[in-house]
A and B are shown apart, each in its own frame.
Chain A
Amino acid sequence: MRASRITGRRVKRWLARAVLTVLGGSVLAFLVVPVFSVIPMSLSSSMVFELIPTAPGWSQYRRFFGSPEWMVALGRSVQVALGTTVVATTLGTLAALGLVRIRSRWRAVLEAALISSRIVPSIVFAVAAYFVFSQVGLVGRVAGLVVAHSVLAFPFVVVLVSSALHSFDRSLEEASQSLGAGPVRTFFRITFPQIRLAVFGGALFAFNVSFDEVVVTLFISGVHSKTLPVKVWDAILYEITPILPAISTLIIVASVLMLTPLLLYRRRS
């Protein structure tokens, strides 16, 4: 009698475990599988859109790399993303270095102000930037895109570098300065080597944020300086072409390549 109750409980527990695994596993699959299903579609060689390629091949990739129009957009995206990486990483690192020097409650206020561009809905910033940038001639210019993307990207650098600085022993800086090194020298010889992984991670984030940005770019890129995502947006709305799965795959691969060092870094820390 008692034994059977224990077995009953064991069966019940096993059942609960199985239900949980199936449920949790399906949600995780729902998160990953759809995105990556675009990869087989990209291998279609047909000129019309196919879901599952009948004759797999690289022809869509060839069309993408052979199209001057798409190449210009890709080049511009890389250019904007590199510019954003430089601006956002520099400003973000400076901000993080300044934040750790503040010990009062102002620090929380400043930190909130510095990451506030991630909280404001992108459409609000898009309209604001479009209006103000168009008055100073920054719409349709790479410089305008770099500036706007830097606003959106630099909170990532601030957060990553700040958390690296928390585990950094500030007395080393003081020691360096008391031995006669100036602040700049102290930064490059003492501080930077300690936080360079976080700075590098922040730079990767900044590049990725810029490379994928659509909403703000849609407004301020103008007719003549469309980035890759904006060209993709136009293509989705106005012509479903068989080239899109190939471009999507390339964008996914680029993001995964940039994410890999970040994940390795996360595991280390």
Chain B
Amino acid sequence: MRALARRNWSTLVLLGPPLVFLVVVFAFPLARVIWGSFFAPDFTLQFYERMWTVPVYGRVFWITLKISALTTLFCILLGYPAAYFLASVRPGTRQMLLLCVIVPFFLSVLVRNYVWMVLLQRTGLVNRLLLDWGVIAQPLELMYNELGVLVAMVNTLLPYMIFPVLSALLAVPPELRHASASLGAGAVRTFWRVTLPLSLPGVAAGGLLVFIVALGFFITPALLGGPKQMMISNLIEFSVRQVLNWPFAFALANTLLWGTLALYFVHVRLLEGRLSKAGLP
């Protein structure tokens, strides 16, 4: 009995400081945002109404959803073959090749976006190579538009797609493929009927994660997008820093927050309750 009490006591001592820290500097500020979106100082829904009734803001939401959906689509289209390739090589080779996915994942997002700006600008490397090879006669507009935002976002978010698909593919028992082949199915048919269906949960989990993270993107649309690529995060920053409309920014932030949390809950459910580490190692 005393041992048990002592044990509870030590758990409390260990978890106390981190929890207090989180409540004070994380949970409280977030609660303040939620509160501030409804009370200014009396209860009002005018900031949410404004969000839905002013067409410009509706457009920002639409753009955010569209860019996130397109990013997810391209991450699936590029990430699946990459994961399939990684699953098909020998484990030693795979470890080496995985560095190509892991290393950029940990590099500064700002630096990576800056490099895309340098590569995609009118006088950038991509345009120069295409001009030199005679593919184009005029430099292409590769940034300050949707294309630039998509290229950099897909580049940043691909690892979120490749990791879950790869682990889903590696979990497919090789006996199933052998069985399918010995029953007369060709490689293509085995892929469509056996491997692909079994790896779809990985695609769903990865795709949802990409979509969730994409919704909150700020740096990429700010640097590589034009005025037509303003996403929710950029509108929040604009409301706070340029027009100082705090309650409206709070309403936007609160909407983004609950949208993200709801989708994240679905994501956790997709993994059958296993807690996803949100890209943590």
Contacts and interface: CB of A to CB of B under 8 A. Distances in A.
A229 B110 contact: yes
A259 B115 CA distance: 20
B168 interface: no
Nearest to B240: A127
Interface string B245-274: 010011001001100110010000000000
B115 A124 contact: no
A98 to B, nearest CB: 3
A19 B221 CA distance: 33
A83 interface: no
A175 interface: no
Contacts, number: 237
Interface of B: 7, 10-15, 17-19, 21-22, 25-26, 28-30, 32-33, 36, 78-79, 81-82, 84-86, 88, 95, 97, 99-104, 106-112, 114-119, 123-125, 128, 155, 158-159, 186-188, 212, 215-216, 218-219, 223, 232-233, 236-237, 240-241, 246, 249-250, 253, 256-257, 260-261, 264, 275, 277-281
B86 to A, nearest CB: 7
A268 interface: no
A121 B116 CA distance: 23
B155 A132 contact: no
Contact of B218 (A51, A123, A129): A123
Contacts of A214: 109-110, 219
Given A13-B187, A98-B15, A125-B29, A119 B104 contact: no
A147 interface: yes
Contact of A248 (B29, B85, B100, B111): B111
Contact of A244 (B101, B106, B114): B114
Contacts of A38: 111, 114-115, 118
Contacts of B12: 98
Interface string A89-117: 00110110111011000001011111111
A208 interface: yes
A255 B115 contact: no
A251 B240 contact: no
A121 to B, nearest CB: 3
Chain B residues touching A, majority SS: helix
A35 B111 contact: yes
A267 B233 CA distance: 37
A206 to B, nearest CB: 12
Contacts of B187: 12-13, 16
Nearest to B159: A31
A41 B118 contact: yes
Query: Considering residues B84, B107, B215, B250, which has the most beta carbons from chain A within 10 angstroms of its beta carbon?
Result: B107
Contacts of A27: 78-79, 81-82, 85, 158
B114 A236 contact: yes
Contacts of B78: 27, 30
A156 interface: yes
Top 3 A-B pairs ranked by shortest CB distance? A24-B85, A121-B216, A98-B14
